[in-house]
Amino acid sequence: LLSGIGGMPASLVTMSIVSSSLTVLKDLSHTALDILNVPKNSIVSFPSLPDSMSYINISQNPLTSLGSV
């Protein structure tokens, strides 16, 4: 069971966490993230993301709020 992640390096480009009961994503706006794939988790709010994003999959999460996506 993975409840939350944070402290990602600025060089992070791709993140994929699928069906892991993830509940929390910390602010990722400081990273070089281009691809975020986190479907089928338990994320209810979404952090700020970098402007460089080209692909986001947040399907099948019980989202109640979005940061600056």
Cβ 55 vs Cβ 37: under 8 Å: yes
Regions of the chain where pLDDT drops below 70:
1-3, 6, 67-69
Count CB atoms within 10 A of the CB of residue 30: 13
- Closest listed residue to residue 61, CA positions, set 32, 25, 12, 15: 25
Task: Name all contacts of 41-50 with Cβ < 8 Å and 24+ positions apart.
Answer: 41/17
pLDDT tens, position by position, 35-50: 999 999 999 988 888 9
Cβ 61 vs Cβ 45: under 8 Å: no
Q: What is the pTM of this model?
A: 0.83
